[in-house]
Amino acid sequence: MSKIAIAIHGGAGTILRSTMTPELESEYRSGLDNALNVGWEVLSRGGGSLDAVEVTVSALEDFPLFNAGRGSVFTHEGKNEMDASIMDGKTNRAGAIAFVRNVKNPIRLARLVMEKTPHILLAAEGANEFAKQMGVESAPDEYFFTDHRWQQLQDAIKDGQIRLDHADDPKSQIPNPKSLGTVGAVACDGQGNLAAATSTGGMTNKKFGRVGDTALIGSGTYADNGSCAVSCTGHGEYFMIGVTAYDVAARMKYKGLDLKKAANETLERLTEIGGDGGFIAVDARGTIVLPFNCEGMYRGYRTEDSQVVEIYRD
């Protein structure tokens, strides 16, 4: 039997203790703790890693402070367009969606793509139509409306910018982002099966049909029982260039590295090509790593020995 373990992230970037109020920090920590507990309940009852990451990411999508599901940022048109992906390390099957609207929990739709279609990625109207056919729970526009996200959009439109989440610098732009928003989970169950899931609301004020790494298997999400499960958060263009999620697994498989060494090398590579952000990963022994190269990452993990939630680098 493997040691059960679960890890989560809620975005990475310029997250400083000096700019966080105690009340807001408490809210973030509560959201992370709740998601960990939801996933842990599945694993501790003997459930599978795939179910664990799905319910965990769903809990993060329901939490309005994270850029996914209910807390998704607004496009230039004032809409919420969401991406998500999920992968089963036991079977290497995967499912993903992009440009989905009014779906309460996009990660559930991504799993249905994996299980109910011969495809991996469905996008835009096709993905929305598939959601209707599958009877996935929907929500009206009002459900996704949050004041702080709407104000982010108004500021971005005023400045003529497209912005990533968690920005501390109102003048930051895509070529030099200061913040990066996504949620994700990785898990190892008692049988040593791995799974990963990732979900995002994209970028504030986006206009041109941009898809980031979250919807792309191998870039933002990857799982293989023979190596590890990975979920990324950061400036997606660089995670796509680096094929970052798969890169961790490849270093384990082809170089014979353990998870920690492979993750460190992958983070070094991400930094070399100019990428900001981080990722969470777990192997079949229940080993967890949560590396990142920016000032902070909303993150946490739970094992049989401990439960930890962190935000800042220090």
Distance, CA of 8 to CA of 5 (rounded, Å): 11
Helix, strand, coil % in the chain, rounded to nearest 5: 35, 25, 35
Q: Does the annotation count 182 as an active-site position?
A: yes
> 60: which 2 tokens?
């993060």
Beta carbons within 10 angstroms of residue 137's beta carbon = 11
**Could you give the C-alpha distances from 13 to 75, 234, 278, 302, in angstroms and in order?**
20, 7, 9, 23
Q: Of 269, 283, 261, 299, which is closest to residue 184 (Cα–Cα)? A: 299
Cα gap 195→200, rounded to integer Å: 18
DSSP assignment, residue 109? H
Among 56, 75, 182, 200, which one carries the catalytic annotation? 182
Eight-state DSSP code of residue 74: P
Give catalytic residues, as residue numbers: 182
